[in-house]
Structure 1
Amino acid sequence: MDENKGKVKSLSKAIDLLDILSASRRALSLSELSERAGYPKSTTHALASTLRDRGLLRQLQNGDYALGMRLFEYGSAVSRGFDISELSRPYLESLSSLTGANSVISLLDGESAVSFDYAVSSSGVQILPEIGVKLPLHCTSQGKLMLAYLPQSRAQSVFRRQSMRPFTRHTIIDRGHLQQQLEDIRQKGYAVEDGEYKVGLRSVSAPVFDANGDLKYALTTIGFFRKVSADDFVNAVRVTVDQAGMLSNALGFSSDK
């Protein structure tokens, strides 16, 4: 069977133009579009004009073409259609399988971190994640990660209102020390909790970004790791960061943007 049968070549060419403009990160002239696409100017002009009329492209005063607002509307509609629990399930399960510990996904709710889904490892001591419970920001890896990636104005507002309550003898209760940790988290790209919320528990959280590059969720590995310098925890850090990156990509995030 001819695999090209039924395909609309003009539609494919139009999508090529959208791909070219998306990759260019700037408006392009008709000549530039034609050259990069490898299509005659007449063909490129016809395609671009049709896309412009439908709002998929816009034409600037100098005649150059740029992506249109309808694409943003389509992207927003796709984002609204995501069921994050369904989308994140394979990554949670893969994370638990690769680390031998539990995995959790959380979001920021006001001034707390709230976990809404998890996967339990089949090996080791079982820990029941606190789903739907408001977790403190200053002493959980999820919370510290969210504080670190908040827009500066909001972060300062939330930071000032944190109670800094000690949950264990390892809980950071000095704001200056916590501020230093947040700066370190931004540099490393992940947050670690070392028995600060519950004695014996250690966790690592990595950021999950949306298509706009904003932190949307925290992906976490949590378990009774012996210490944060141990090989199994170091592996958990690497795998958690990797899985969070793949989930970010599934949400439309691109580090090239």
Structure 2
Amino acid sequence: MENVKKGATIQSLEIGMGIIDLIAKHGKPIKFSEIQELSQTTKSNLYKYLNTFTQLGILYRDKGSGAYLLGSKLVEYGMAAVDQENVLDRITPYLELLNSKTSSTVLFSIWTNNGPMVIKMFNVSQGFNIGATIGTLLPLFSAAGKIFTAFSNEDIIQSWKESESKRIPQEQLQQLEKEILNIKEKEIAFAREPLVPSVSSVSFPVLNYKRDLLGAVAIVGFSEQIPKSETDPHSEFILEVSRQISESFGYK
């Protein structure tokens, strides 16, 4: 009985993890037929595995190409596995400071395969609707969305950008391209009422010593309370906090 306890495994789970491992090692989105060929799993069983993993967020299926890649849930697991929660631990005092000084809601979002996702929130008023909560995927035209557009690797965000751009008039997209250049230089982004009427946002990147984007901090509140440009006195304070946060990760 002792040998059974040590050696017993669940074969279906081993097969499923083998499929995930195959997709992870492939290094780019992979289609059903390729997975089936490489895994030698029957089509009917493979469909069940992929459908289950997609519904759980373990995998993500691109609606355009039908190809599979690792999902947002694995991002969360990966953060825990490599102790990336230290990022939150390190920036939390700054988020609390921003929350207190601006009297506005403060969000921290990270990149997932589905787009920027809110993973931390400091809310001034629980009854105040900002159009987002923990787990919300932020759109391209939000202040945080602009930050991810400006500082993320183009290959990583391309699919998301293309999907988001379909819902935006061409004139606004052209204006956004010009705005992104300024965001890269000033390291701050603004959005006027992107999700909810009368609610605007300002956002800045959290960068490390390699200038990699670790996430985006956004301050969200009534439009009259949120600065419109980097020359606003309130923006000076926000930029100073932004510098302090990124410097704590070695960014100069």
TM-score for the superposition, normalised by structure 1: 0.56
Structure 1: which amino acid aligns with 2:188? Y
Taking every aligned residue pair, what percent have the same amino acid on both sides? 21
2:225 & 2:112 partners in 1: Cα distance? 29
Query: How far apart, CA to CA, are the structure 1 residues paired with 2:83 and 2:170?
Result: 37
State the partner residue of 1:178.
176
Distance in 1, Cα, partners of 2:228 & 2:127: 17
Tell me if structure 1 keeps the 8 A contact 2:227–2:235.
no
Give the distance between the partners of 1:228 and 1:95, measured in 2 at CA: 12
Query: Cα distance, 1:235 vs. partner?
Result: 3.9
State the Cα deviation string for residues 121-174 of structure 1 (Å, max 9, x = none): 37x9834641111121x21000011101123444555433324436xxxx8873
User: What residue number does 1:244 align with?
Assistant: 242
Unaligned runs of 5+ in 1: 1-78
How far off its partner does 1:80 sit? 4.3
**CA displacement at 1:104 relative to structure 2:** 1.0
Indicate the SS of the match to 1:195.
Answer: coil
Distance 1:172 1:145, change over 3 A: farther
Q: Give the letter for the 2:151 counterpart.
A: Y
Tell me what 1:126 maps to: 128
Alpha-carbon deviations, 1:181-237, whole Å to 9, x = none? Answer: 211211221110111222111110011102322111111111003276679x93442
CA distance in 1 between counterparts of 2:166 and 2:198 reads: 20
| 2:113 aligned residue (110, 115, 130) | 110
Q: Which amino acid aligns with 1:193?
A: A
Q: In proportion to residue count, which structure has more helix?
A: 2
Amino acid of the structure 1 residue aligned with 2:150: A
Which residue in 2 is equivalent to 1:189? 187
* Residue number in structure 2 paired with 1:27: none
CA RMSD of aligned residues (A): 3.0
Q: Match for residue 254 of structure 1? A: 251
Larger mean Cα displacement after TM superposition, 148-157 or 88-97 = 148-157
Larger Rg: 1
8 Å CA contact retained: 1:98, 1:239: no
CA separation of 1:150 and 1:110: change in aligned 2, threshold 3 A = same
Secondary structure at the counterpart of residue 224 of structure 2: coil
Residues 142 and 191 of structure 1 are in contact (CA less than 8 Å); yes or no, is this contact kept in structure 2? yes
Q: In the aligned structure 2, how far is the partner of 1:228 from the partner of 1:164?
A: 28
Aligned length, in residue pairs: 169
Is residue 199–residue 223 contact of structure 2 (8 Å, CA) maintained in 1?
yes
Rounded to whole Å, the distance in 2 between the matches of 1:183 and 1:120 is 31
Aligned-pair CA distance for 1:108: 1.4
Task: Provide the secondary structure at the position in 2 that maps to 1:116.
Answer: strand
Distance change in 2, residues 1:117/1:253 (3 Å): same
Q: Return closer, same or farther for 1:162/1:246 CA change in 2, 3 Å cut-off.
A: same
The residue number in structure 2 matching 1:234 is 232
Describe the shift of the 1:134–1:155 C-alpha distance in structure 2 as closer, same or farther (beyond 3 A).
closer
Query: For 1:148, which of 120, 125, 150 is the aligned residue?
Result: 150
What is the CA–CA distance in structure 2 between the aligned matches of 1:174 and 1:96, rounded to whole Å? 31
Say which SS state the counterpart of residue 162 (structure 1) adopts.
helix
Give the equivalent residue in structure 1 for 2:22: none
**Corresponding residue for residue 219 of structure 1:** 217
Q: Counterparts in 2 of 1:54-93, with a 5 A limit?
A: 80=83, 83-93=86-96
Structure 2 unaligned blocks of 5 or more: 1-81
Match of 1:199 among 176, 194, 197: 197
Kindly provide the amino acid, as one letter, of the partner of residue 141 in structure 2. Answer: C
In the superposition, the TM-score normalised over structure 2's length comes to 0.57
Q: The residue matched to 2:232 in structure 1 has which SS?
A: helix
